[in-house]
């Protein structure tokens, strides 16, 4: 608490210092040339400062993607080539995989001499995650780099081994940047070629953003306590802080304060509703609850247990409040109608899966996924993001929503599949519907290990399709796309090593401590 007060008191001075450092660093950035400028962009991204230098970064990438030959030494430096490829793809530029042709031997394989430099191999591995389906060079690069990293003697260099282990499990493209920022600041501070100005800027920015998040969480804690659900409902998980952490993963920057507030409320209510369908309500009660949500009508819940009535009323009141707050062009009723439909779709998917379990029915994987990408809750979460952040009249909002459909589907699919990989065993024990893993095991008559491998392959395919969407549809709308993609990244964090929503583990508590409680020492 004392730290929070100190940071809050220093915040205006920090803001002034940030503006001065930003102005000075822009001059340094503009003076940089060639590959050095690419590495500066990489450092800016890793330190979560890209929003401060958005204009400079995009100007640089616009220039170099038109004239790759202008970057001196790039074609002979595979580490820089991989960085160039990754940065451009990440920002939606259409750069060809053929840029790596110089590093392939006559047999069509990556040159064995590349194995000797671990940093180069790491860059190849990270770049390979920006691949699009059907890019054979990228597939070879991922296999080659993964093999090199797995064969590495990790006792050679402790500082590198930590990055290798993390990269194999958490590729940069799949990772929430803000969740790694403390570690990246620490790593940058120990770099021999660090820029002291950029380092100070990163520390100041972190503390200012953290102070903003603290105030938001305090406000949300009052809302959650006043809502009173946890006082009267004993079957559900109380996950306000974890829900807020998810919204930070979607959008940590100060300008997204309203989005974080609304999303946290939605996620908290989704967790309660999910538990209601999974472990509390009978099939008859759940059918009634689903009709109530579909019709947005209190009369449908008259004969339901008190806890289900409270859940519906909290859901209805909160969504009405959110719709009123985000209405555009005086179209509150139409905004609310869209939100209501998204909730109804989620509840129908929850109900279908409850019916499957009740009947002892295991669908095909294809049939399961038709419902599961919706029950992932992704479409509802993305609708809230869309309505809060997009501008224009309602018809224009819906046109933009249609253009995002593929991105929403693949991100929701990743969310569901990671969840299944993490929670399928526990959920079967407690009585949930079959997961994608069990569906594929029974359909293909294969072992659990083979099924898990297949599901991981579906996740990689979904990422490849997301990469394609970034280039084909969102090259000029990066912010809009990233808010959706970041939810897929959050799912990687939540479910890669267990279920961090279901179980409040030490790693999650440590992350909460570092991101929301402890400031960086300046």
**Architecture of the domain defined by 21-192:** Alpha/alpha barrel (1.50)
Rounded distance between C-alpha atoms, residue 304 and residue 292, angstroms:
11
User: Which of 168, 74, 68 is CA-nearest to residue 118?
Assistant: 168
pLDDT at 427: 54
* CA angle 367–370–375, rounded 5-degree value: 120
CA 455 to chain centre: 19
pLDDT digits (tens, 9 = 90+) for 454-506: 999 999 999 999 999 999 988 878 888 999 999 999 999 988 876 667 666 77
1 vs 476, residue with greater confidence: 476
pLDDT at 330: 66
pLDDT digits (tens, 9 = 90+) for 94-152: 999 999 998 999 899 999 889 888 889 999 999 999 999 999 999 999 999 999 998 87
Rounded distance between C-alpha atoms, residue 197 and residue 423, angstroms:
44
pLDDT(518) > 80: yes
Backbone angle region of 431, left / alpha / beta, with phi > 0 → left and psi within -120 to 50 → alpha: left
Span 341-366, average pLDDT: 95
Rounded distance between C-alpha atoms, residue 334 and residue 345, angstroms:
17
Max Cα distance, the chain (Å): 74
CA 416 to chain centre: 13
pLDDT digits (tens, 9 = 90+) for 242-270: 999 999 999 999 999 999 999 999 999 99
Q: Please list the residue range(s) of the chain that carry CATH number 1.10.600.10.
A: 200-517
Structure token digits, residue 248: 């930070």
Structure token digits, residue 269: 């209510």
Q: Please list the residue range(s) of the chain that carry CATH number 1.50.10.130.
A: 21-192
Please write down the HEC assignment for all residues of 455-490.
HHHHHHHHHHHHHHHHHHCCCCCHHHHHHHHHHHHH
Span 56-67, average pLDDT: 88
Rounded distance between C-alpha atoms, residue 308 and residue 272, angstroms:
10
Asked if residues 245 and 515 have their Cβ atoms less than 8 Å apart, the reply is yes
Using the Cα atoms of residue 321, residue 325, residue 326 and residue 329 in order, give the sign of their dihedral: positive
The b/e string for 294-329 (b: 16+ C-beta within 10 A; e otherwise) is bebeeebbeebeebbbbbbebbbebbeebbeebbbe
pLDDT(445) > 70: yes
Rounded distance between C-alpha atoms, residue 220 and residue 222, angstroms:
5
pLDDT at 232: 83
- Rounded to two decimals, the pTM is 0.93
Which of the four pLDDT bands, split at 50, 70 and 90, describes residue 153? low
Q: Please report, for residues 249, 464, 514, the alpha-carbon distance to residue 509 in angstroms, rounded to integers and kept in the order given.
A: 15, 32, 9
pLDDT(9) > 70: no
Q: Please report, for residues 188, 245, 318, the alpha-carbon distance to residue 494 in angstroms, rounded to integers and kept in the order given.
A: 26, 10, 25
pLDDT at 7: 56
The highest-level CATH class for domain 200-517 is: mainly alpha
Average pLDDT over the chain, rounded to an integer: 90
Asked if residues 71 and 64 have their Cβ atoms less than 8 Å apart, the reply is yes
Rounded distance between C-alpha atoms, residue 484 and residue 317, angstroms:
26
Which of the four pLDDT bands, split at 50, 70 and 90, describes residue 424? low
pLDDT at 1: 47
Structure token digits, residue 434: 């079959």
Rounded distance between C-alpha atoms, residue 439 and residue 267, angstroms:
27
Asked if residues 490 and 111 have their Cβ atoms less than 8 Å apart, the reply is no
Structure token digits, residue 72: 């001196």
Bridge partner residues of 110 (DSSP): 104
Rg (CA), the chain: 24
pLDDT digits (tens, 9 = 90+) for 376-400: 999 999 999 999 999 888 889 999 9
Rounded distance between C-alpha atoms, residue 279 and residue 301, angstroms:
19
The b/e string for 238-265 (b: 16+ C-beta within 10 A; e otherwise) is ebbbbbbbbbbbbbbbeebeebbbbbbb
**For residue 165, what are the contacts with CB-CB under 8 A and spacing of at least 6?**
154
pLDDT at 2: 44
Q: Please report, for residues 40, 148, 160, the alpha-carbon distance to residue 156 in angstroms, rounded to integers and kept in the order given.
A: 28, 14, 8
pLDDT digits (tens, 9 = 90+) for 265-312: 999 999 999 999 988 999 999 999 999 999 999 888 999 999 999 999
Asked if residues 251 and 486 have their Cβ atoms less than 8 Å apart, the reply is yes
Return the beta strands (E) in 22-159 as ranges: none
């Amino acid at each position: 608490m004392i730290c929070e007060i100190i940071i809050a008191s220093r915040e205006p001075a920090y803001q002034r210092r940030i503006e001065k450092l930003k102005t000075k660093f822009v001059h340094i950035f503009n003076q940089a040339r060639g590959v050095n400028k690419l590495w500066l962009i990489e450092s800016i991204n890793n330190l979560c400062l890209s929003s401060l230098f958005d204009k400079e970064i995009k100007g640089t990438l616009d220039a170099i993607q038109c004239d790759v030959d202008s970057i001196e030494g790039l074609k002979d430096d595979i580490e820089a080539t991989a960085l160039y490829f990754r940065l451009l793809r990440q920002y939606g530029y259409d750069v060809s995989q053929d840029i790596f042709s110089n590093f392939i031997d006559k047999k069509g394989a990556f040159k064995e001499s590349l194995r000797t430099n671990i940093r180069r191999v790491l860059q190849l591995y990270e770049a390979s995650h920006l691949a699009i389906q059907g890019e054979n060079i990228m597939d070879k690069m991922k296999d080659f780099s993964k093999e090199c990293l797995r064969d590495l003697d990790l006792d050679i260099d402790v500082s590198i081994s930590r990055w290798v282990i993390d990269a194999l499990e958490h590729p940069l493209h799949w990772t929430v940047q803000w969740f790694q920022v403390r570690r990246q600041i620490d790593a940058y501070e120990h770099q021999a070629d660090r820029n002291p100005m950029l380092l100070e800027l990163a520390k100041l920015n972190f503390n200012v953003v953290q102070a903003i998040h603290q105030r938001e969480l305090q406000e949300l804690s009052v809302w959650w306590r006043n809502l009173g659900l946890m006082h009267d409902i004993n079957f559900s998980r109380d996950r306000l802080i974890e829900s807020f952490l998810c919204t930070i993963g979607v959008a940590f920057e100060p300008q997204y304060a309203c989005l974080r507030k609304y999303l946290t409320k939605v996620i908290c209510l989704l967790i309660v509703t999910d538990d209601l369908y999974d472990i509390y309500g009978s099939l008859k009660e759940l059918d009634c609850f689903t009709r109530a949500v579909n019709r947005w009508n209190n009369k449908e819940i008259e004969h339901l247990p008190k806890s289900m009535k409270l859940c519906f009323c909290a859901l209805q009141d909160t969504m009405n409040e959110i719709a009123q707050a985000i209405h555009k062009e005086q179209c509150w009723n139409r905004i609310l109608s869209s939100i209501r439909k998204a909730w109804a779709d989620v509840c129908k998917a929850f109900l279908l899966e409850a019916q499957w379990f009740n009947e002892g029915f295991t669908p095909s994987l294809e049939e399961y996924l038709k419902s599961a990408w919706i029950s992932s809750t992704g479409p509802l979460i993305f609708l809230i993001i869309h309505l809060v952040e997009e501008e224009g009249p309602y018809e224009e909002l819906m046109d933009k929503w249609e253009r995002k459909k593929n991105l929403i589907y693949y991100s929701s699919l990743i969310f569901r599949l990671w969840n299944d990989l993490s929670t399928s065993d526990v959920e079967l024990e407690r009585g949930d519907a079959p997961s994608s893993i069990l569906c594929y095991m029974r359909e293909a008559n294969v072992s659990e290990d083979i099924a898990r491998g297949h599901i991981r392959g579906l996740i990689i395919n979904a990422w490849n399709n997301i990469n394609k969407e970034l280039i084909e549809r969102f090259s000029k709308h990066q912010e809009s796309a990233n808010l959706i993609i970041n939810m897929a990244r959050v799912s990687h964090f939540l479910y890669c090593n267990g279920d961090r929503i279901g179980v409040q583990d030490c790693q999650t508590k440590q992350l909460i401590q570092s991101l929301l409680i402890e400031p960086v020492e300046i």
